[in-house]
Chain A
């Protein structure tokens, strides 16, 4: 009997188990890597600085003591087509800018002041209720992190800071991004803008 006649048709079935294992690992990596904690932060093109301190919870510090105020360019309607902003220049159209806290709009400074006062009150050094009307509010230990877009004029950031000062918040931290290593040399050697 010849050997070729004994051949049996084999069913080819690829083993999917290693592939599924790898895909599960990939899935886990991307799920854990997706920083859900950043969702409350608006999309802000932060200014670049070398001397930034990483925002970590300090020993003994309460994380909730910090409030993030975003000053960001609108990305809807007319503002979406803002040419200076797209070119990386300063956008001086006030209506293109927004102030946000936890995804809510506080561009109206009265609203912002009311919200900041609510945030500042629990951490005041003296109870605000005991003060007579017209007296300045006692300082609050609440820290505000101002995350403003690099293309924002300082005036808009100043408005946030003034509102903080009004309600007794004096600890201000400015959000900045450390540039990638490829840009570091250029930034450290750059002249004055």
Chain B
């Protein structure tokens, strides 16, 4: 009886299509995409600026910004660690100590009505990039938005 048959059954259509080859191809495609698939890690960015109107490549500066916070990073080969300090201060022993020093200077600038001071990252070339990013991350987490990089001691020619 025709009414008891399902739609798409072989008896509906006398031309039988062999789907085995198609299944094989789809399996292969599935395996290819599964193997090449890797879950996307959230990649983002930390915004920074290079000095726009001063520095070694921009000629003489019309005005020099004096209010800034400078974090110095240098690599200590004996300890195999990065030493960080606010300029003219002793190396900080922890992230908290470093940020306390930074925030104390920032609070002074805020009290003086200066809200546009940059935080300059002055890193030695040997310092691992991860440590530089770590310091930038700490600053961003403490709401210090304007990060800049110090120009090198010598121009690369």
A binds B: yes
> Interface on A for B, CB 8 Å cutoff?
13, 16-17, 19-20, 23-24, 26-27, 30-31, 33-35, 38, 46-55, 71, 90, 92, 109, 135-136, 139, 145, 148-155, 157-159, 161-166, 169-178, 180, 190-193
A30 touches which one: B33, B128, B129 (CB < 8 A)?
A: B33
Are A47 and B19 in contact, with the CB atoms below 8 A? no
Main secondary structure of the interface of B (DSSP, over half): mixed
Are B149 and A172 in contact, with the CB atoms below 8 A? yes
Residues from chain B with Cβ under 8 Å of A52 in the complex: 42-46
Residue of B nearest to A30 (CB): B33
Are A20 and B127 in contact, with the CB atoms below 8 A? no
Are A155 and B125 in contact, with the CB atoms below 8 A? yes
Residues from chain B with Cβ under 8 Å of A50 in the complex: 137, 141
Interchain CA distance A144-B140 in the complex, whole Å = 19
Residue of A nearest to B92 (CB): A192
Residues from chain B with Cβ under 8 Å of A17 in the complex: 8
Total chain B interface residues with beta-carbon distance under 8 A: 61
B125 touches which one: A20, A33, A139, A153 (CB < 8 A)?
A: A153
Are A149 and B84 in contact, with the CB atoms below 8 A? no
Main secondary structure of the interface of A (DSSP, over half): mixed
Residue of B nearest to A172 (CB): B48
Residues from chain A with Cβ under 8 Å of B128 in the complex: 90, 150-154, 193
Say whether, besides A33-B37, A55-B45, A161-B149, A49 and B133 are in contact (CB < 8 Å): yes
Residues from chain B with Cβ under 8 Å of A19 in the complex: 23
List 14 additional A-B contacts (Cβ < 8 Å) besides A139-B52, A190-B95. Answer: A27-B26, A27-B33, A47-B134, A49-B133, A53-B45, A148-B129, A153-B129, A162-B152, A170-B49, A170-B51, A175-B43, A176-B133, A176-B137, A192-B98
Are A16 and B37 in contact, with the CB atoms below 8 A? no
Give the Cβ gap from A4 to chain B, nearest Cβ, in Å.
25
Residues from chain A with Cβ under 8 Å of B133 in the complex: 47-49, 150, 174, 176
